[in-house]
Every structure is written in structure tokens, then in C-alpha cells.
Amino acid sequence: MAPAIVLNQHGDMLEFEGRITIYVVVCVIIAAFGGLMFGYDIGISGGVTSMDDFLKEFFPIVYRRKQHAHENNYCKYDDQSLQLFTSSLYIAALIASFVASRACTRFGRKPTIQIASIFFILGVILTACAVNLVMLIFGRIFLGFGVGFANQAVPLFLSELAPAKIRGALNIMFQLFITIGIFIANMVNYFTANLHPYGWRISLGIAGWPAALLLFGSLIICETPTSLIERQKVEEGRKILKKIRGVDNIDNEFDSIVYASEMARQVKNPFRKLMKKSSRPQLVIAIWLQVFQQFTGINAIMFYAPVLFQTVGFGSDAALLSAVITGLVNVFSTLVSVYAVDKAGRRVLLLEAAVQMFITQSIIGVILALDLKVTGSLSRVEASIVVVLVCVYVMGFAWSWGPLGWLIPSEIFPLETRTAGFAFAVSTNMLFTFIIAQAFLSMLCHMQAGIFFFFAAWIVIMGVFAFFLLPETKGVPVDSMVDRVWKRHWFWKRFYDDYIDEKNTNMTIPPHMT
Ligand code: BGC
């Protein structure tokens, strides 16, 4: 798979002709609904699993335990099958993303997005109409297949469709739609919590509309020129490129895509190339960024915010409302990163946020350790302070480890290993999202307030990692990374001591690219 190349061989940005056409904007918005579906699924489960009607129907033991909540604040929701409801989606997505990466290459980005939307719709029908636990879990698995296919195809689709100069902004658009999905889910939960007895069905069923929009929308979006050219549909690729750029002269960009596809085609097995010493720096960073992103503890908040707020003593309503506020903070803080990422740089954002998240997690831990005993609850003032701290923590995540966890792995690999490397990032993300989803409530039960110190400790580790091992990539053209970043980095340069660029230098380079 080869994304559109828009740099010459020296790594300089090429200005291609073209406008930002309405058609591209429409395509981007439709595709980003894949991100919205992902976000909606993240946000909806926490609220639904705190609804009594839902618990009575599928998890009666948890429901009964909840009735005696005063017995143990930290353990009332600890139930493996309840966690399986949340986490089954991510394990399904992890498996699906490998299949999806093949589908992307063989059939194209557009059919992969369409398959994603069909999985989403099946998943929504099964979960919203579920009459037993099996149907419910199968529904989540189908939703997971949808997430796996969408997360593999949509970011690629966006990068390949976008004019070069706004590709970075469009990349974060995916994250923005994730946060919007989480927020909508939180709001929906807030209103359906009091609709008895089937509020939860409405919560799960509403996911049908973005899924349907994605399906019908996908009928009008185009395939990316890169994917068409890569699959030898060269003339069709040229036609589509003309259409999306809205100008007649697209020759330079067209030649670049053909050239990039040829170059990438020379690397017969990108996964094998990825295992070579010279790919180690990028692979290590792409994988660890995903592990760190999840070990910030963000999804403990995103999945379980209402549950968490109930644990510290809010009623169901207040708990959901607090989760809505968190969701809103998440959306607006993501906008900050759209502006700051190319000005302040990646490292500043990651390091500043690590400090911010460490402080907030630690204070939450101290408050809970001192005042939230196994029974009883926090005072109103203390509970409100916890909500404020959670918001400050989410802010930090939203302008740093959230979007950059996706952006950095997409920009550090050289072209020949870029999509294979990115596939590793996606699957690692899903794996660790699964681990957090499955383990958090048990960890809360066993570690109690200590869980916040656990995440705080990880934040120290990731801060140190970012400080010493993460090079700044702001403003560096993607295809100059090896020379300008990796070979100059105090630690990573040793991986290039005996590096020989294996690209075939006999290839004819389009004249405007030299
Ligand atoms: C992460 C998700 C997380 C979301 C929160 C994404 O970047 O991958 O796991 O729930 O951000 O906004």
C-alpha cells in the first residue's frame, strides 16, 4: 500500500495544482464518520453498563451487588462478563485490522470502508435488539469488526485524498471525530438513562444513524487515486485525481503517485523489511506510543467515567452529566492540538501533557486514598474536585498523547514500510485498549485508589521515554526522516551505522521531483 507521495527525492514539499474541492470535503466528512462510530462505541459502553435496566437484563449478579454498593465502593462493578461486554469489541477489532489491511490493498480503501459500515450496522442491530448475553456479545464483536476495518482504511483514505498542504490537519480530523463520537454517546446516555426500561436499547440503537450515513455516504465517495494506481487502474486514477483537485493539470501529482507506487512495489515484503535493524527506531516508537497512549489511563475514564463518578459518590444522573462534561472537554481540547502541533511541536505537547496528567492522576489518587473508603462516599466538594481534575487530565491527553499517538506513527516510517508499520500501531492500540477495558474494573477493585498511582507511574515512564528517545518531527518532510531525524539522533543513529538504502536508484524519477 502506498500513500500519495508529495515530496521530491530531496524531501522538499512539492506544490501541486489543485483546490480544496467541495467533493473532497464531502468525502472527508463521510469517511470521518468511521472515526465517529469508533468514538461512539468507546463512549456508549460506560453509560449503558451503569444503567440498572441493562444490568438487570444481562448482568443480574452485578445488579444485585450494586444494590449493596455501600458494601464495597471499589468492587461493585467488578464482573468479568460485564467487562467482556466492553472489551470484546477491541479484540475483534484487533483481529479484523489484519484482514482489513489486506482488503485495503487488494480491493481498495472505499470497499473496506463499506465493509466496515455493514459490520457496524449488523453490530448495532444485534446489540440494540439483544435478548440474551450471547446476542449482545456477538453484536459487540461485529461492531469490533467495523472498528478494525474503519480504523485501518479511514486514516489512509484521508491522507491519500487530502491535498498535501492540509494533510496533517485532516489526520487529526479522524481523532476529532472520535472525540465527537464519544461526546455524542455520553449525551445520549445522559438522556436515555431515565427512559425505562429500554433506554439502553436506544443508546445502542442510535449508533445506527452514523453507521447508515457511512454506508450510504460511501456510495458517493470515490476511491483514492493512490489505491487505483497501485492496483493498476492508472487511467481511472488520473480521472479521479482531476475530479478531486478540480483542475485539469494534475500531471505532477499524478507522476508522483505513480513513482511512489513503483518505489513501494520494489519492496516485496514490507513486513520483512520492517523487521530489519534500520526499521527498529520507527517500529519501537510506533508500538510504544500506542502502549503509552493506553497506559495514560484515558480509557479507564472514557469507558467507565459514569461508573467512576458513581464510585466517588455521584448519583447516576450526576455521574452521566459529569461524563458529558468530560466528553466536551475532550472535543475542544483536541482542537488545541490542531493549531499547536505544527507550531509548538510534538515533543513540547507530549512532555507538557505528561506533567499535567501526572499531577492530576496523583492528586485524584491521594483524595481517593485518604477519603474514599471501601464504604461511604466522598463529600460533594471533594467529588466535584475529582471531576475538575479528571477534566484537566483529559485536556492534557486530548492535545497530546491522543492525536499524536496516531499522527507520529503515520509520519515516521519511510514510504516502503509506512502502511505495514502503521498496521502494527493500529493493532497494538486495539490490544492495549482491550487490556485496559478488560482489566480496569478488576484493577479498581483490587488496587482501589492505587490504580491512579499505577497510571501516574506509567506517565513518568512515558515522559522519560519522550524526553530521551522521541525525536522532534515537526516540519520535517516525511521522506527526509531517515537523514534528518534518525541518523542524527543521539541514540537511534547507531541503527544506521551500516545502513544501505535498498531502493532501486535506477528508477526513472519524474523530472519535477528531482
Ligand atoms: C484513543 C482512544 C481514546 C480516545 C479518547 C484515541 O486517540 O485511541 O483509545 O478513547 O483517543 O479521545
Summarize pLDDT for 87-141 with one digit per residue, the tens: 889 989 988 988 898 888 889 999 999 999 999 999 999 999 999 999 999 999 9
Q: Per the structure block, which three cell numbers stand in for 478? A: 516525511
Whether residue 503 is predicted with pLDDT greater than 70 in this model: the reply is no
Instruction: Looking at the CA of residue 405, tell me the nearest atom of ligand 1.
Output: 7
Instruction: Please tell me the residue having the least CA distance from ligand 1 atom 7.
Output: 402
Q: Is 402 a pocket residue for ligand 1 (Cβ < 6 Å)?
A: yes
Q: Is 43 in the pocket of ligand 1 (CB under 6 A)?
A: no
Q: Which residue has the higher pLDDT, 23 or 258?
A: 23
Q: Which residues pair with 13 in a beta bridge?
A: 7
Residue 170 to residues 47, 92, 100, 160, 298, Cα–Cα distance (Å): 30, 27, 21, 10, 23
**Ligand 1: does its nearest atom lie under 6 Å from the Cβ of 433?**
yes
Confirm if 42 and 291 have CB atoms less than 8 A apart. Answer: no
C-beta of 179 in contact with ligand 1 (< 6 A): yes
Whether 139 lines ligand 1, by a CB cut-off of 6 Å, is no
| Position with higher pLDDT, 410 vs 502 | 410
Distance from Cα 294 to the centre of ligand 1, integer Å: 8
Atom of ligand 1 nearest to the CA of 178: 12
Burial label for 184, CB within 10 Å (0-12, 13-18, 19+), is buried
- Choosing from 293, 328, 332 the residue with most ligand 1 atoms within 8 A of its CB, the one to mutate for a pocket test is 293
Q: How far is the CA of 7 from the centre of ligand 1 (A)?
A: 30
Separation of alpha carbons 227 and 204, rounded Å = 34
The whole-number pLDDT of residue 2 equals: 36
Q: What is the predicted pLDDT for the residue at 6?
A: 43
What pLDDT is attached to residue 509? 55
pLDDT tens track for 329-342: 999 999 998 888 88
**Is the CB of residue 330 below 6 angstroms from any atom belonging to ligand 1?**
yes
* 384, burial (CB in 10 Å: exposed 0-12, middle 13-18, buried 19+): middle
Which residue has a Cα nearest atom 12 of ligand 1? 179
Q: Cα of 115 to ligand 1 centre, how many Å?
A: 22
- Band (pLDDT 50/70/90 cuts) for residue 362 is very high
With cell 488496587, the residue in question is 447
Separation of 212 CA from ligand 1 center, angstroms? 23
Burial code (b: 16+ CB inside 10 Å, e: under 16) for 16-51 equals bebeeeebbeebbebbbbbbbbbbbbbbbbbbbbbb
**Residue with CA closest to ligand 1 atom 6:** 402
Checking if the pLDDT of 355 tops 90, the result is yes
d(CA 129, CA 136): 8
396 in contact with ligand 1, CB cutoff 6 A: no
CB 303 within 8 A of CB 320: no
Cβ atoms of 176 and 31 closer than 8 Å: no
How far from chain centre, in Å, is Cα 15?
30
334 lines ligand 1 (CB under 6 A): no
Closest CA to 478 of 1, 19, 20, 9: 9
DSSP 98: H
Residue 491 predicted with pLDDT over 90 = yes
Distance from Cα 75 to the centre of ligand 1, integer Å = 25
Tell me the per-residue pLDDT of 206-259, one tens digit each, with 9 for 90 and over.
Answer: 999 999 999 999 999 999 998 898 888 999 999 999 999 998 888 888 887 887
313 lines ligand 1 (CB under 6 A): no
Q: Do 91 and 435 form a contact (C-beta atoms < 8 A)?
A: no
175 lines ligand 1 (CB under 6 A): yes
Does the beta carbon of 429 lie inside 6 Å of ligand 1? yes
pTM comes to 0.86
Best mutation site among 36, 292, 294, 298 for ligand 1, i.e. most ligand atoms within 8 A of its Cβ?
A: 298
Give the nearest ligand 1 atom to 302 CA.
10
Ligand 1 midpoint to CA 312 (Å)? 23
Q: Give me ligand 1 centre to Cα 292, in Å.
A: 12
Percentage of residues in the chain having pLDDT higher than 90: 43
d(CA 5, CA 453): 44
DSSP letter string over 54-97?
HHHHH-HHHHHHHHTGGG-TTTTT--HHHHHHHHHHHHHHHHHH
Q: When comparing pLDDT for 500 and 199, which is higher?
A: 199
